[in-house]
Amino acid sequence: MNHKQAQEEREHTAARQEQDHGDDEQETAGERQQNQIVETGSITGTKGKHVIHCLTIIGQIEGHFILPAQNKTTKYEHVIPQLVAIEQDPDIEGLVIILNTVGGDVEAGLAIAELIAGMKKPTVSLVLGGGHSIGVPLAVSAKYSLIAPSATMTIHPVRMNGLVLGVPQTLSYFDKMQERIVRFVTDNSNITPERFRELMMQTGEMVMDVGTVLDGEAAVKEGLIDELGGLSRVIEKLYELIEEKQANPDEDKAQQTEGGDAT
């Protein structure tokens, strides 16, 4: 083998090694995304127009008590650190929340909803399948909310499982907890407190319960959800909010200044 052939062989080997290294990096990135989905039920999309994070809230909201293994759950101790990380990550520009939940722990659900509502980053929620019970505050906690036409939302009074003391203090506790939910929902949507309570106490619609089941169109008509739509509209709306925020950076600075003056 002459010098020229040896040089060509070395170049070919180097090129092959570089390609293999690139394939390994790509595979590693793919594996990281897959692990993120499996472990947290979320993923950060980096190949679109903007970098957005998708968070899913499904099944039952698990709070202070561990639910049976066969239950599909969203654990609030997993979601809360994710929301903190998303808010402070400069690379993530917006958040999509996908909801298909039957409800669950009231205080855990409200804790997640309050964190989402308090984020400065653009947030858009989408209700798929169902956004029942404490899923209602979670749905309205985003800066803009959408619901699929086939999805439903159940509004009903606060309920409690297990031993309950039949004393006036228990009813007072239920009433205060219910008012927290009413206040949060009406502060973060276009429905009035009076109408929300009316839907909550509706009789004759559900066989074994008090309350109302709203489909997608009815939820929008009542002012609970902003718009009917699907995934493409969610992404489109989130991009709009991101670009509005980028076009008006002074608003964030003004909010920060006001917050500093208040303290």
How far, in Å, CA of 218 to CA of 88, rounded?
Answer: 36
132 is catalytic: no
Across the range 110-136, mean pLDDT stands at: 96
| Residue 118 near residue 88 (C-beta atoms within 8 A) | no
Beta-carbon count within 10 A of 50 CB: 17
Q: Tell me which of 46 and 55 has the higher pLDDT.
A: 55
Closest CA to 154 of 171, 137, 141, 176: 137
Tell me what pLDDT residue 188 has.
Answer: 97
Q: Assess whether pLDDT exceeds 90 at residue 198.
A: yes
232 is catalytic: no
Across the range 5-29, mean pLDDT stands at: 59
Q: Assess whether pLDDT exceeds 80 at residue 247.
A: yes
Give strand ranges (E) for the chain.
42-45, 52-62, 73-75, 94-104, 123-131, 144-147, 152-155, 212-215, 227-228
Q: Assess whether pLDDT exceeds 80 at residue 162.
A: no
| Residue 141 near residue 125 (C-beta atoms within 8 A) | yes
How far, in Å, CA of 105 to CA of 113, rounded?
Answer: 12
Tell me what pLDDT residue 116 has.
Answer: 97
Q: Assess whether pLDDT exceeds 80 at residue 138.
A: yes
Q: Helix axis angle, 76-88 relative to 106-117, nearest 10°?
A: 10
| Residue 74 near residue 100 (C-beta atoms within 8 A) | no
Q: Assess whether pLDDT exceeds 60 at residue 143.
A: yes
Across the range 90-111, mean pLDDT stands at: 94
| β-pairing verdict for 212-215 and 152-155 | antiparallel
Catalytic residue among 42, 132, 145, 156: 156
Tell me what pLDDT residue 47 has.
Answer: 87
Q: Tell me which of 98 and 177 has the higher pLDDT.
A: 98
> C-alpha 123: how far from its chain's center?
8
Residues ≥6 apart with Cβ < 8 Å to 146: 124, 125, 126, 127, 225, 226, 227, 228, 229, 230, 233, 234, 237
Residues ≥6 apart with Cβ < 8 Å to 109: 61, 63, 76, 103, 133, 134, 135, 137, 138
What residues does 75 pair with on adjacent strands? 62
How far, in Å, CA of 139 to CA of 240, rounded?
Answer: 19
For residues 19-32, one letter each, b for 16 or more C-beta atoms within 10 angstroms of the residue's C-beta and e for the rest, the string is: eeeeeeeeeeeeee
Q: Assess whether pLDDT exceeds 90 at residue 175.
A: no
Choose the weakest-confidence range: 12-21, 129-138, 153-162, 242-251.
12-21
Catalytic residue among 42, 125, 133, 189: 133
| Residue 128 near residue 99 (C-beta atoms within 8 A) | yes
In the chain, % of residues over pLDDT 90:
56
